[in-house]
Chain A
Amino acid sequence: MIIENKAMKKYLMLMIFILWLVMPAAAFAGLPLDTVKGHADQVLDVLRDPSLKGEAAKKTKKEKLRAISEKMFDFTELSKRTLAQNWNKLNPAQQQEFTELYKTILGDAYNDKILAYTDEKITFSKEVPLTEKTVEVRSSVLRKTSEVPIYYRVILKDGSWKVYDVVVEGVSLSSNYRSQFKEILANKPPESLIETLRKKAGK
């Protein structure tokens, strides 16, 4: 009996070990929808925090939002996809500065918008696989007289799902900036694009 049990135990351990081996890394990263929703919930928690009321707490709120966005987004991936084939026209130092400036500009533009958020309802509906490593998480924001579909495109990186693009009413953030940057890069060197961004970011 005991021997049998031992054999069983061994067998079970082996099974668990094999299972652990074959289980895709994605399983550990959690589901894309849950990841995005989790971050969105964190943002809502900050916005609804009663201890962070009024103008004085605005700075604290922005700091917290920034910290969440760092976890939520993959800004390098977003930058690469935004510049697409123009990415390689930038040298590594320029690439790094571009990413930082882009992040600042997006943060400045959207934090105010998010802070103005009142009581709109957000629902997460589903996830749609795009490629092997990318998934689209679909949500919609219910406003007073309209519904705005917001899709987050996430990529599996280092064991977690990170947002690399946001699509609002069919308008992809990265594509939209790409069209703007492309016009600048068509006529000017990368340095002048970065200079434009520096001005915009107020640095």
Chain B
Amino acid sequence: MNISKIETIKNNRSLKIILLGFILLLCPAYLLADTPEAVPDNPAKSESPATPVVPLIHSAPDEVAQNPPASTPVEGGPERETTEGRMIVGDSGISESYDDEGPQIQDPFAPTNKVMFNFNDKLYFRVLKPVAQGYSRLPEDLRVIFSNIYDNLWAPSRILNNLMQLRLKAAGNELIRFAANTFIGVGGIGDAGKDVFGIHKQEADFGQTLGRYGLDHGFYLVLPLFGPSSLRDGVGLVGDRFMHPLTYVSSSDLTFWQAAGISAHEVVNDASFKIGDYESFKDAAIDPYVSMRDAFVQNRKKKVDESKHQ
């Protein structure tokens, strides 16, 4: 039963034309972006804390309402409306302001999410970690080459997302990087974009693009294998997959299992550089589930904030 999950797009040619169109569109965009008035080279606004990181004092009449009801571990809901800053009134009557509320997310499916969290946890310790440890006996240089190749395959997604986020310079940089890595770096073996042109990777993904245009997370989702996500970012993952070149390789050239094997290798290769990260995250946490959910929301907020600048 050779179900091809990776859709064979019959109209391969038309897709190529669309992609080419995008790339052609991009070239003038980059030239435009390079002129200082279009995009300031070093946008000061992205450096200045545009969003108040330490918010100012807000009066907090709803301080009591602030604490969620005892029974629900669900965050968000009515709290989402509250401002980030809180006022602390000490015994002395001196008030100090601390940033209290970080970004929040609703978690109506907490029970199933927790099951998935535990599943992923076991998957890591029982499968991914041992495999990655064995795998990491391969020379590091070789693993870095694989990492570069896989990373290069995500470049189209980064280019298109940067473009959709109107980060023209970043999109142009990613395009040059993609071209340099593909042709000079021979399919992305080396990071020629960085080594030759000094261009750093400009991360961008579809979940971020959706966030850029005001779409909220919806609710928290722990996906099997993929880990912490949300309704929005789950859609983002699918979107990014559609911008991945391997999606468009016909199933006669690459069977489902071959494609899955490549993806699995990508995951293992990536994990071989990060053994110990998850362990120390878990060691540091008092409640790993809550800690991971919060880290996810904070990290994604930063990504979305970043997509609005440059």
Binding site for B on A (CB under 8 A): 80-81, 84-85, 87-88, 105-106, 108-110, 112-113, 116, 126, 128, 130-131, 134, 136, 143-147, 153, 169-172, 175-187, 196-197, 200
User: Are B287 and A171 in contact, with the CB atoms below 8 A?
Assistant: no
A residues within 8 A CB of B295?
Answer: 171, 176
Interface string of B58-78 (1 = CB under 8 A from A): 001001001111100101000
User: Are A112 and B102 in contact, with the CB atoms below 8 A?
Assistant: no
B residues within 8 A CB of A84?
Answer: 86, 88, 98-100
User: Are B284 and A178 in contact, with the CB atoms below 8 A?
Assistant: no
User: Are B86 and A186 in contact, with the CB atoms below 8 A?
Assistant: no
User: Are B303 and A170 in contact, with the CB atoms below 8 A?
Assistant: yes
B residues within 8 A CB of A170?
Answer: 298-299, 301-303
Q: Is B53 an interface residue (CB 8 A)?
A: yes
User: Are B70 and A169 in contact, with the CB atoms below 8 A?
Assistant: no
User: Are A105 and B284 in contact, with the CB atoms below 8 A?
Assistant: yes
Bound: A88/B63 CA distance, A: 13
A residues within 8 A CB of B100?
Answer: 84-85, 178
A93: min CB distance to chain B, Å: 14
User: Are B280 and A178 in contact, with the CB atoms below 8 A?
Assistant: no
Q: Is B283 an interface residue (CB 8 A)?
A: yes
B residues within 8 A CB of A108?
Answer: 283
User: Are A169 and B49 in contact, with the CB atoms below 8 A?
Assistant: no
User: Are B75 and A179 in contact, with the CB atoms below 8 A?
Assistant: yes
Can you name the residue of chain B whose Cβ is closest to the Cβ of A87?
Answer: B88
Bound: A110/B284 CA distance, A: 7
Interface string of B260-292 (1 = CB under 8 A from A): 000000000010010010001001111100110
- Among B66, B96, B144, contact of A144 (Cβ-Cβ < 8 Å): B144
A residues within 8 A CB of B293?
Answer: 179
B309: min CB distance to chain A, Å: 14
B residues within 8 A CB of A143?
Answer: 273
A residues within 8 A CB of B284?
Answer: 105-106, 109-110
Bound: A80/B88 CA distance, A: 10
Interface string of B90-101 (1 = CB under 8 A from A): 110000101110
User: Are A177 and B286 in contact, with the CB atoms below 8 A?
Assistant: yes
Q: Is B147 an interface residue (CB 8 A)?
A: yes
- Interface residue count on the B side (C-beta < 8 Å): 49
User: Are A200 and B286 in contact, with the CB atoms below 8 A?
Assistant: yes
The 5 closest A-B pairs by CB, nearest first: A170-B302, A109-B284, A175-B102, A179-B294, A84-B100
10 A-B pairs whose Cβ atoms sit less than 8 Å apart in the complex: A106-B284, A116-B276, A170-B303, A179-B102, A179-B294, A182-B67, A186-B68, A186-B70, A196-B286, A200-B286
Bound: A108/B283 CA distance, A: 9
User: Are A80 and B98 in contact, with the CB atoms below 8 A?
Assistant: yes
A residues within 8 A CB of B270?
Answer: 145
Can you name the residue of chain A whose Cβ is closest to the Cβ of B191?
Answer: A145
Bound: A149/B285 CA distance, A: 20
User: Are A85 and B102 in contact, with the CB atoms below 8 A?
Assistant: no
A residues within 8 A CB of B86?
Answer: 84-85
- Among B63, B69, B90, B280, contact of A110 (Cβ-Cβ < 8 Å): B280
Known pairs A85-B87, A108-B283; list 13 more (Cβ under 8 Å).
Answer: A84-B100, A88-B88, A109-B280, A131-B54, A136-B49, A136-B53, A170-B299, A170-B301, A170-B303, A171-B302, A179-B102, A186-B67, A200-B286
Candidate in A106, A126, A169, A197 with the most chain B CB atoms within 10 angstroms: A169
Bound: A146/B295 CA distance, A: 18
B residues within 8 A CB of A175?
Answer: 99, 102, 294, 298
User: Are B102 and A130 in contact, with the CB atoms below 8 A?
Assistant: no
User: Are A109 and B298 in contact, with the CB atoms below 8 A?
Assistant: no
B residues within 8 A CB of A87?
Answer: 88
A residues within 8 A CB of B98?
Answer: 80-81, 84
